[in-house]
Amino acid sequence: MFIILGYLIVSVGVFASFLGVGGHLGALYQPFEFLLIGGCAFGAYIGGSNGASIKLLLEAIPKAVKRNPYGKPLYMELLALLYTLLNKSRRDGLMSIESDIEDPKSSPIFTQFPQVQKDARLMEFLTDYLRIMISGNMNPFEIETLMDQEIEATHSEHNTPINAVRSVADALPAFGIVAAVLGVVHALAAVDQPPAVLADLIAKAMVGTFLGILLSYGFVSPFASAVERQSVAAIKVLECIKVTLLASMNGYPPPLSVEFGRKVLFSTVRPSFTELEAHVKQVKNQGSGR
């Protein structure tokens, strides 16, 4: 959402200013400059990527223009779900939540939290480590190490398209210079032409530098930043689960374990203590009413 608004502001700011000083947009329409710069950028990206990297980038594109799904409503659901699971396992034993973990879609616990269920990566992370906890064969330190390694691997995977896009953004001004140099070479080859023709050729050559810089800093770099914000949010939700489960394994009661998870969240999406407490009570009342 905001990235589209940003693109519109950049476009209006640049082109309206150009028109304001008496320029003509037709002078900026140079399709072969676009082809040269775009082709170089695309080729450089393909040359430095593989199939997995390209797939990750294609998955990241729609996420960059959508609203961040990891907001306060999702965290309220997640923390309430964690409380419900940990409270049941503490009261009835870990084996009591085994059926819920094995089939979350039909679980009376998980179905109370539809936003959490929609996130396949989150659900996989949560259910996998609950299974490990049920097995009872690993201590908290071993599970923490395993969690850290998985989170690091996920973070590295998410950074793959970000790094690739940033590399393209860094290269675009240079490709713009390449286009400008080729345009100047073309202009110099026509040195026997009238001054008006030479001026037109040189102006077209300069458009290449303009396009390379504009595309880099006005469009591609902001896109990389938008994808990175989504990546950071996706990692933070895993860290919230990690801290909550480890607190429970170390003997803390469910309310305090959930408080551990709440405290690691960013302040912009972190529910207050009273908000979370009220939401947990509401979930408990709904569950007891069934």
Give residue-wise pLDDT tens across range 49-64.
888 888 888 888 887 8
Mean pLDDT on 237-247:
95
pTM exceeds 0.95: no
Q: What is the distance between the alpha carbons of residues 58 and 60, in angstroms, rounded to a whole number?
A: 5
| Phi-psi label, residue 22: left if phi above 0, alpha if psi -120 to 50, beta otherwise | left
CA torsion, points 43, 44, 47, 49, in degrees to nearest 10? -110
Segment (H or E) for 18:
helix 2-20
pLDDT band (50, 70, 90) for residue 288: low
Mean pLDDT on 99-111:
89
pLDDT of 287: 59
pLDDT band (50, 70, 90) for residue 125: very high
The closest of 74, 69, 86, 109 to 260, measured between CA atoms, is 86
Mean pLDDT on 68-84:
91
Mean pLDDT on 73-84:
93
pLDDT of 289: 47
**In the block, which residue shows the tokens 């860094």?**
170
pLDDT of 188: 81
Q: Are 211 and 37 in contact (CB under 8 A)?
A: yes
